[in-house]
Every structure is written in structure tokens, then in C-alpha cells.
Amino acid sequence: MSKRNFDIPLRCKGIAVVLLKKFDDEYKVLLLKRATPVLRDVWCYIGGSIEEGEIAWQSALREIEEETGITKVSLYTSNKFDQFYSPIENYIYIAPVFVGYVDEEQDVILNYEHSEYKWLSLDQAIDYVTLPGNDEVLTFIEKHFVRNTPTELLRIQINSISTNRESSY
């Protein structure tokens, strides 16, 4: 009797974004409370789908603006990924995590997807997030983007990158 091996498919159809903003010389993380049926009442950072014609960092900027109203942000790729396994559909979802440093003058204006938001210290946010794995992402962000200055190689040079889609960012 021969056994066949089957792969678990990987799906990368979305992005995640951790926003940081300085308050009195301390970076705080924006957490949002979901209001939609999927993940209702879960505290998390920004996440969303990549739309047709977008590349991942464009999706990150669009999701930041759609979910929070924030338009002034310095965006970095973190070299970290959100991931989870779907036992119902038997696939592994993976999403690149971006980090955005928010301009101090920017306020949050939530869309329908969220009911509340909080700017929390990294320690508070790590304890506050609901989904397993989000705490690991925040710990990574703290080490590489809060306690240390990220390398310019990770910065998304929005104005100097040519894209297939026109962007207002």
C-alpha cells in the first residue's frame, strides 16, 4: 500500500500593519476592536486584503487610510509575517507585516469595521491583543522598530517606486 503526501497550500492575499505613534517620547501601538462578524470584539492591529492591481505595500497604505483615516505615515516592511492555519479549508494564510510611523498630528477616525481604538504601550498591547501570534509580532516590532532604528533598506520609498497602479500616497 502506497501513501501519497499532500501539501498544505499557502495563501498570501492580505497584509497586516502595526502603527506606531510617539507620545511624550514613548512609542505607542494602535489597536483596533473589530465590529464586523469576522473577529467581532477582537483587539488587533490593521489587516486587510490585497485588491486587484495592488502590490502589498499599496494595500497597507490603503487599509491604513480606510480603517483609521490616517494619511501621513512613514511605512516600512518588517520582514515579519502574520500566519494562521485554517482547519476548515486546510490552508495556511500568511501576510506580510508592515510598520507605520504615524505623524504626531494625525488623529484616528474609525470606519465601520471597528468600534473602538486604543494607543497602548508595547507592553500593554502585547497583553491586550486577542489572537495568538499577534503578541509575537508586537515583540518583534518592539525590538526592531522601537528600541532600534530600522534600516533604510526596509523603508518603502513611496514616491520613488514605479507601480502599475497610480497612488495618491
Give me the CATH number covering residue 55.
3.90.79.10
Domain total in the chain: 1
**More confident call, 4 vs 78:** 78
Neighbouring residues of 135: CB distance < 8 A, sequence distance ≥ 6: 126, 127, 129
**Residue 2 falls inside a structural domain:** no
**Residue 100 falls inside a structural domain:** yes
**Residue 5 falls inside a structural domain:** no
pTM given for the model: 0.88
Give the integer Cα–Cα distance in Å for 146 and 132.
21
Alpha carbon of 12 to those of 42, 94, 125: distances in Å?
22, 5, 25
Range of the domain at 89: 10-160
pLDDT range class, residue 79, cuts 50, 70, 90: very high
Name which of 46, 43, 47 is nearest 118 in CA terms: 43
